[in-house]
Amino acid sequence: MPLPLLRSLQTGRRWRPGPVLRPAVLAAGLAATLLHSGHLAAQAAPAAPRPTQAVQARAGMVVSASAIASQVGRDVLAAGGNAIDAAIATGFALAVTYPTAGNIGGGGFMVVRFPDGRATTIDFRERAPAASRPHMFTDSSGAYSARLHHNSHVSVGVPGTVAGFELAHRKYGRMAWRGLVAPSAALADTGFVVPTGLAASLAGVRNKLGQYEASKAAYYKPDGAPYAAGERLVLRDLGQTLGRIRDAGRDGFYRGTTARLLAAEMQRHGGLITEEDLARYEAAEREPVRGTFMGYDIISMPPPSSGGVAMIEMLNILEGLPLKSQKPDSPQYLHWLAESMRRAFRDRAVHLGDPDFNAIPVAELTGKDYAATLRAGIVADKASVSSPADVRQGYESDETTHYSVVDKDGMAVSVTYTLEAGYGLGAVVDGAGFLLNNEMGDFNGKPGLTDSTGLIGTAPNVAAPGKRMLSSMTPTIVARDGQLVAVVGSPGGRTIINTVMQVVLNLIAFDMPVQQAVNAPRVHHQWLPDRLTVEREGFAPATLDALRAMGHEVRVGGQQGTAHSIAIDRKTGARLGAADPRDRDAGAAGHN
Ligand code: DON
């Protein structure tokens, strides 16, 4: 199917004569582009020094947002578990130690590459409950309600994490399920020492979580004070729920006590999820979306994520440009990035949604021919126009988490999962101790409603019973000549796709060691609003001036994503774990 191009993308505007482009000045090179701020909201403690070296191990590696959770996964690898086992154990541990995004009440995606080169994905994205309707986020007068869409029990999707882990384990795991959940049940039950990032984060979300009694009781002291770093946090109800999952598998979550508690929570707060919705939830195994870039194989998540498709579309556009003639912080390169992003995000908005409900032209969008057409519309030194109408796609928060696992045999697992906003809805299920997602906010707000406040109402991503909401999560694996090269991913709403792509570009086009590829500063463009956001630390003022002179609206923003990645040393085969320093509690844990 030929894909229509936006005419406006092919011509530039707002061009004004500017200074002659000059190579960016990065005084001390990328090593000086320190990104000190942490991922979490409140930033009380000084940031840890930024690592310049990845953690090395011969056999296995886990890198996640929580050093405690990475260690849980690493121990599973050391005990003979494979990368799937370790990913499941790490995921359950993050639900305890990284409550901002680690979860059993949310959902996500897992991309797996086996040692023989085959690959698969597990889709455990949340689904809309059976009572969902296209107009479910409108109030009694028919007006769109952001509160219903993002901040009410109606915004909770049927969680997928436990079913996704169970499916991955049943098909590809090696160790007994019990042993994968038990460490997390114990962590919650006996407590863990609160790390600095979590302490700061919980202090910062006191008002949000404080709206719900069960959240207050779980995450704050009896007098309402937050836990300080170094104190012990015990999560007893969560420990009980994890115990049920440990003992009964997915039924410990989707049936019986946990399901009853969740359904009762919904009834008390006007939510839609019923015990039947829970019992009917199924995760799905899907073929990965694949592309190639400069001789490397890119294996990523297909719809209902937009991530893999959009990233491969962008990489295809960029592959035809002389990337190696540029520095990764040069205005010319950043302009190419912005123009590729603009085009792919436009296609994301138009074409992508749940593949079980839409025909999606994946092959066309990820094809080299289509990319060539798009590339031809890029003007070397001036910004295109996104659209005559100032339309954006709506709210997405910045709180998800990604982790990467490689085992001794070379099996690689890339997992990104989320509650959507930080701590999801902020509501802990009373009696069950886990946080609920607010993922329904990733559906379009109202059919046909596309307006300048940032809403979009195109058909592929309108809510319907059982449907999965469109995601940007981009867990990705890179290989070459049959060998594993890297495992990458990130949180960050729509910025995820661009963050992951830039780590991949840094590794492949600029040959950076993995820790530098992760640390390097990043940019984001998402078609609309028509602006290029750059991380505060890392780009020289002259670079930003040069981009503005090309017609880009450049906005300096905070940190973009946290891409906990693993690369394989080409010569030695060592696993190189690069925790992203933008996440304060992150850690890489290897075993030899
Ligand atoms: O699935 C998505 O694309 C969003 N719900 C992810 C949200 C997110 O990344 C927030 N995090 N950092």
Predicted local distance difference test score (pLDDT) of residue 446 = 81
pLDDT in tens, 3-12: 544 333 332 2
Residue 459's pLDDT is 80
Q: Rounded to whole angstroms, how far apart are CA atoms 478 and 501?
A: 11
pLDDT of res. 48:
56
Residues noted as catalytic: 400
- Shortest-distance atom of ligand 1 to CA 307: 3
The residue among 497, 546, 552, 506 whose CA lies nearest residue 529 is 552
pLDDT at 155 over 90: yes
**Among residues of the chain, what percentage have pLDDT more than 90?**
83
The reported pLDDT for the residue numbered 390 is 37
pLDDT for the residue 450: 61
499 Cβ closer than 6 Å to some ligand 1 atom:
no
> For residue 470, what are the contacts with CB-CB under 8 A and spacing of at least 6?
303, 304, 305, 306, 352, 353, 354, 442, 443, 460, 461
Q: What is the pLDDT of residue 451?
A: 59
Q: Is 474 in the pocket of ligand 1 (CB under 6 A)?
A: no
User: If we measure between CA atoms, which residue out of 179, 258, 177 comes closest to residue 434?
Assistant: 258
The string of pLDDT tens digits covering residues 484-521 is 999 999 999 999 999 999 999 999 999 999 999 999 99
Per-residue model confidence as pLDDT tens digits over 349-371: 888 999 999 999 999 999 999 99
Residue 466's Cβ-side half-sphere holds a number of Cα atoms within 13 Å equal to 10
Which tens digits make up the pLDDT trace of 290-349?
Answer: 999 999 999 999 999 999 999 999 999 999 999 999 999 999 999 999 999 999 998 998
Q: Which residues contact 298 (CB under 8 A, 6 or more apart)?
A: 290, 291, 292, 308, 311, 312, 315, 476, 478, 504
Return the higher-pLDDT residue of 112 and 528: 112
388, pLDDT greater than 50: no
Pocket residue to mutate for ligand 1, from 40, 423, 470, 472, most atoms within 8 A of Cβ? 472
Position 213 pLDDT exceeds 50: yes
DSSP annotation of 43 reads -
Tell me, using a 6 A CB cutoff, whether residue 420 lines ligand 1: yes
For residue 565, what pLDDT is reported? 98
pTM of the model: 0.91
- The full 3-state SS of 372-415, as one line of letters, equals HHHHHCCCCCCCECCCCCCCCCCCCCCCEEEEEEECCCCCEEEE
Residue 458 clears pLDDT 90, i.e. is over it: no
Is residue 470 scored above 90 in pLDDT? yes
Write down the mean pLDDT value for the chain: 90
User: pLDDT tens digits, residue range 531-555?
Assistant: 999 999 999 999 999 999 999 999 9
